[in-house]
A and B are shown apart, each in its own frame.
Chain A
Amino acid sequence: MLKTLRVIARSGLRTEPLPSADAARLPEQRLHADLRQLLGRALCIRQVDAGSCNGCELEIHALGNAYYNLEGAGIHFVASPRHADLLLVTGPVTRNMREALLRTYQATPPPRLVVAVGDCGCNGGIFGESYASCGAVANVLPVDASVPGCPPSPAAILQVIVDLVRARHG
């Protein structure tokens, strides 16, 4: 136990400031205020892999590490679409996942946001459209924002989520 505590103490705080440019307040405070006004609580995200190569999932995972500290910003990944405000969808949407993705979307209470992550989610990417792939997420669901990249960095994903929430807030 002492060893564990010592490592924790030595690691210190790794969390970096959230992407923002509002000089008046700390970026974390600004984001928290935006989220509260928009949703009345934290932002809950349900991630759906609709056919990705798993590269995007690696970077979405990284959002939870100490550096990006998503939870610290009041953003949670939730286990059920019924608890979610936002679907984070990676693609391309395969024909075999199309129905599951649509059902997940229908189970998410409106107003719901959809963010397409990665080049494949944005436009089908290297896999395109085929007998097995429906291509971009937008071919299956209405998409509110996209994050290009192969895979996009955690910072890029975070930036798009923050911008989308702000834009909705006006």
Chain B
Amino acid sequence: MAPVPGFTAVRRQRLSADAWLDQIVQARAAGARLGALWASDARVTEGAYRVCVVLQQGRALDWLELALPAEGALDYPDLSGLFPAAGRMQRAAHDLLGVRAAAADQRPWLRHAWPTGLFPLRADAPGDTAREVGEVPSGPYPFVAVAGDGVHEIPVGPVHAGIIEPGHFRFSVVGEKVLRLEARLGYVHKGIEKRFESFPAADGQRLAARVSGDSAVGFSWAYCMALEALCGTQPPPRALYLRALALERERLANHLGDLGALGNDAGFAFGLSQFGHLKECLLRTNADIYGCRYPMDEVVPGGVAHDLSPAAVARVLADLDALTAQLAQLEAIYTDHPGLQDRFVGAGRVSPELAARLGLAGLAGRASGQAFDLRCDCPAPPYDRLDVRKVVRDEGDVAARVMVRFEETRVAIELCRQLLRDLPSGDIRGPLPAPRSDRPGLGVVEGWRGPLLVALEVGGDGRIARCRPQDPSWHNWPVLEHAIIDNIVPDFPLINKSFNLAYSGHDL
């Protein structure tokens, strides 16, 4: 047993195939949740490929590693029976590294248009540009077909009607009712994991921030947490408080945007216009205190990029007061609006039982009775010193996901106030010793969408050897396909928005 250094208790174990599966089966029976699954090429150092799984159980994070000898068959046990979300992670691991889970579904997931047999994350993968790799037209994808009288398919995407990210949705419907939805993702796969390997470790947070632009603070913090664990250092207290402030402001910006968009998708344009105003105010304050509306590069290894002057603190506090008042007003209007509630209540319901079985994570999970929030469950500083109220509802419908957003917006405002009231004095950036290269580091942050995880290995030359960012969208996309069943096609945009999952954060 080798502990991974960090702020949360991470236990890392290397196991044989039988022991690996046994331990995962036991952990699942004891209520563990899947954090991430990925593979890496360790042929140079260990003569093997590795399949890694991170499980969360209460406060503990378990990192379970399986070595697949490079000369062997590269097969490993299928985990999708235990954790349904693992299915697509396994398919992605095959596309990138050629390791194969013993699962029924062997369709490619991220690989649309690069040649079969090219595994880009292998150390000896040929070429780096599209020209060298060769052009392969993306062929047809074998969607699961639904047969029966009157059943027809509606293909949607990858280019959508609105301003959203690309992905393909295949609806099988009778009349307006959806019998089945199958998503095909991977359109925005831009090789982020490969790209990480060209970055010095001390610079990787810039790429981590761009895994999913709406979660820039969350991912760059998770990356820095993993790197700082490897460096055996922790940022000064003031920097940690300022990181949490930026993270909660990111949560506010996304929740405000979503609340407006959800009103709009239910035909209540007033909501979009009002929440658009609140979000714009928040972003303009960001521009004043961070120098940019979206502080993509605010979290840096060892600390943060900008300090807050007393005047800036006062400005943020005054803004929060105004936001609190306006939010209460809008919540009353949303709650009392019969037309709006008629669209929200009962739409896209995921029962707590289904959510538990499928592993629904983050905000959407908490709206379906899954009471998990890393800020409370395994709090990294400064959350260990803050009073975070966990917001949970059981209804599991669009209305519940709206209410969780309202509540969490209030919680985030309160946290911002706490952080600014208790803001420690001192440096905003500490020194960064050289990172260790003999063990991996792990960073976990509760982003606005859910748990963000970054697993990081650094080489002896100080460059990134392997970096795996894991967005909760991996867990939640398959659940969306269940949420839409028996709903009508015109409700899909509303239900989809209520989850608001990442494409870029998933496709990498």
Contact = CB atoms under 8 A, between A and B. Distances in A.
Interface of A: 3-4, 7-8, 11, 14, 47-62, 64-67, 77, 79-81, 92, 94-101, 104, 125-134, 150-151, 153
Contact of A53 (B213, B276, B283): B213
Given A14-B280, A96-B186, 14 more contacts: A49-B165, A51-B187, A51-B504, A55-B294, A55-B296, A56-B213, A57-B164, A65-B273, A65-B279, A66-B280, A96-B507, A99-B138, A129-B128, A130-B190
A157 to B, nearest CB: 12
Contacts of A134: 130
Contacts of A11: 273-274, 277
Given A65-B273, A66-B276, A127-B190, A53 B163 contact: no
Contact of B191 (A50, A56, A131): A131
Nearest to A91: B190
Main SS of chain B's interface residues? Answer: loop
Nearest to A7: B329
Most chain B CB within a 10 A radius of its CB, from A48, A53, A56, A92: A53
B333 A100 contact: no
Interface stretch (B110-118, B241-249, B363-371): B110-118
B9 interface: no
A103 to B, nearest CB: 8
Contacts of B296: 55, 150-151
B188 A97 contact: yes
B133 interface: yes
> Which of B190, B276, B279, B332 counts the most A-chain CB atoms under 10 A from its CB?
B190
A54 B332 CA distance: 31
B277 A49 contact: no
Contacts of A127: 190-192, 195, 210
A62 B127 CA distance: 39
Interface string B125-161: 1011110010001100000000000000000001101
B206 interface: yes
A75 B426 CA distance: 49
A55 B188 CA distance: 13
B503 A54 contact: yes
A77 B336 CA distance: 31
A161 to B, nearest CB: 14
21 contacts: A4-B333, A52-B213, A53-B212, A54-B165, A54-B213, A55-B296, A57-B163, A57-B213, A61-B257, A62-B283, A77-B162, A95-B114, A96-B187, A97-B166, A97-B187, A127-B195, A130-B129, A130-B191, A131-B128, A132-B114, A153-B287
A149 to B, nearest CB: 9
A131 B214 contact: no
Contacts of A100: 158-159, 166, 187
Given A49-B188, A100-B159, A95 B113 contact: yes
Contact of A62 (B158, B211, B276): B276
Interface residues of B, number: 63
A16 B128 CA distance: 46
A77 B330 CA distance: 27
A151 B280 contact: no
A81 B160 CA distance: 10
Nearest to B199: A126
Nearest to A61: B163
Contacts of B272: 64
Contacts of B213: 52-58, 151
A126 B199 CA distance: 10
A12 to B, nearest CB: 10
Given A53-B210, A55-B210, A130-B128, A94 B276 contact: no
B304 interface: no
Nearest to A150: B296
A69 B258 CA distance: 19
B168 to A, nearest CB: 9
A131 B165 contact: no
Nearest to A99: B138
Nearest to B125: A131
Given A65-B280, A131-B118, A126 B125 contact: no
B112 A95 contact: yes
A97 B163 contact: no
Contacts of B210: 53, 55, 125-127, 150
A51 B192 CA distance: 11
B279 A131 contact: no
Contacts of B214: 54-55, 58
Contacts of A64: 272, 276
A48 B190 contact: no
A146 to B, nearest CB: 18
Given A59-B293, A100-B166, A3 B125 contact: no
A66 B273 contact: yes
- Of the listed residues A4, A8, A80, A134, the one surrounded by the most CB atoms of chain B closer than 10 A to its CB is A4
Contacts of A59: 293-294
A170 B408 CA distance: 51
A134 B274 CA distance: 39
Nearest to A133: B190
B445 interface: no
A101 B234 CA distance: 44
B279 A52 contact: no
A151 B296 CA distance: 9
Contacts of A125: 210
Contact of B133 (A56, A67, A104, A131): A131
Contact of B120 (A4, A65, A67, A132): A132
B207 interface: yes
A131 B187 contact: no
A129 B293 contact: no
Contacts of A47: 163
